[in-house]
Amino acid sequence: MSGRGGAPADGVEADDPFELAYAAGVREEEPVAAPAPRPRRAAAAPFALHGCVLTPDRAIEGGYVVVAGAAIAEVRERAPEGVGRIVETGGIILPGLIDLHGHPEYNVFAAWEPPRRYANRYQWRRSKEYARVVREPWRALTAEGSLPPLLTRYAEARALVGGVTAIQGASGRYPGKEEALVRNVDLRIFGEHRARSIIDLGRSDEAERARLRRHLAAGTVTALYVHLAEGVDETSRKEFDDLVGAGLLTPATVIIHGTALGEPELGAVRDAGAKLVWSPQSNLRLYGRTTAAARALALGIPVGLGADWLPSGSPSLLAELKVARRALAAQGLAIEPRRLVAMITRDAARIAGLEAALGTLDAGRPADLLVLERRRDDPWESVADADPSWVELVTIGGDLAYGRRDWVAALAAPGSSEAPPEEVLAWGKPMALDTGYAARPGRDTAPPRLSDLRAALIARYAQTGPIFA
């Protein structure tokens, strides 16, 4: 394999979307200018949500989450005083979900069933079917340069309506590199950029690796996401040897996939204090086999989940949760639903190095909340069984990002949003989606609504994957 800037590795073409989107994956971040003013989402006046509140330790039946401004004011068992608006949710209140592996720019493509199995990711990336499913539509969507920012926004909307408030995987070409419709854990978040991502470790040169080692040693990078060992052959497994040889297996390392890792490699991951992010649906579709996640959990390795991307992965993180449960059962682990839910909330926040802000409900934390319909007696089981149609409300930093129309109308503070939320029909439910962000920072234009995004994408690519399906 050549270093970055040379010929693409393993026959991958230079116009491969992965090449273009992740070309700056390990480079130093450019200085960030002050973000341009942008429209606000609808902010809520102080309010409380009443329902079954999930904390790391227990489920509080009939609990309350009180929100004041951007933060959680308190989590309590009795009705709060002095709060003008209390929503009787009848549902389950939990932290917003964290998707630790995705490719947002590509989640506009149609879902895909691979016609055959591959030994490693380089095989399908240079295949004819990949060219038809991804590369050719990508060329059509990006030919004139106007649509790339909208690809990510559309994908963010897909994540949001599925209860996700934070994602990993946005590229260095991400518009503005600032928090937008959802948080981006590997870009600038809470005012800092403390994470880096590598899509092809073999393409990084020694200067880049040395720079990463310095960052890791200094603590200026606290999460290093590395796509690694995605496949079932020796080529895939040897990527782990390269990681170790580069001195990049550290407590900050987050291995994405790790499908080819065996007992020796998993033991080394545990000993280093590194973490693992698992995308079983995509692994099973592409390779017919997935990561030894049950063994990783038994070894005490922190494991998070990611829906990967729509062509071969799951359409939502909640869908991926079900695949993970079945895959773990096939590996001999009947995982408890509480532990499963932790993989997309508390444990995911720890893996991302953001446990002080995300993943649990507690006073003083950002009010990133999810309310789901309750359809099972066991609240943890209800979350594990949920799908996006069960989503009732999503808030990010206290802002009303997505939710039932009646709740959003009742909670929105007068004049808090420059434009009313967009009315959408989601699986038969009347919902409101607030896209109060700037798709192209610096442009004095209103942010595009979901209907605008959809129309622009479908005009260029008729097979754009639907969100509410």
Region 201-223 average pLDDT:
94
Looking at residues 318-324, what average pLDDT do you find? 98
pLDDT at 402: 96
Fold of 9-31+98-351: TIM Barrel (3.20.20)
User: Is the pLDDT confidence value at 388 over 90?
Assistant: yes
Comparing 9-23, 263-277, 316-330, 419-433, which segment has the lowest mean pLDDT? 9-23
pLDDT band with cut points at 50, 70 and 90 for residue 312 = very high
Mean pLDDT of the chain: 87
| Structure confidence by residue, pLDDT tens digits, 254-273 | 999 999 999 999 999 999 99
Compute CA 327 distance to the chain's CA centroid, rounded to the nearest angstrom.
Answer: 20
Q: How far apart are the first and last CA of the chain?
A: 40
Q: Looking at the predicted structure, is the pLDDT value of residue 441 above 70? A: no
Q: Tell me what pLDDT residue 440 has.
A: 45
Instruction: Specify the pLDDT at position 27.
Output: 44
Q: Indicate the domain borders of the chain.
A: 9-31+98-351, 42-96+359-438
Q: What is the pLDDT of residue 133?
A: 87
| Proportion of the chain above pLDDT 90, given as a percent | 66
- Of the chain, the percentage scoring pLDDT greater than 70 comes to 84
pLDDT, tens only, 69-117: 999 999 999 999 988 899 999 999 999 999 999 988 788 888 888 999 9
Flag whether pLDDT at 200 surpasses 70: yes
Q: What is the CATH code for 42-96+359-438? A: 2.30.40.10
| pLDDT tens-digit series, residues 232-249 | 999 999 999 999 999 999
Please tell me if the domain spanning 9-31+98-351 has the same topology as the one spanning 42-96+359-438: no
5-60 per-position pLDDT tens digit = 223 344 445 456 565 544 444 444 444 444 444 445 666 678 999 999 999 889 99
Q: What is the pLDDT of residue 386?
A: 98
- pLDDT of 393 > 90? The answer is yes
Query: Sorting pLDDT into bands at 50, 70 and 90, what band is 230?
Result: very high
Of residues 35 and 131, more confidence is placed in 131
Greater confidence (6 vs 218) lies with: 218
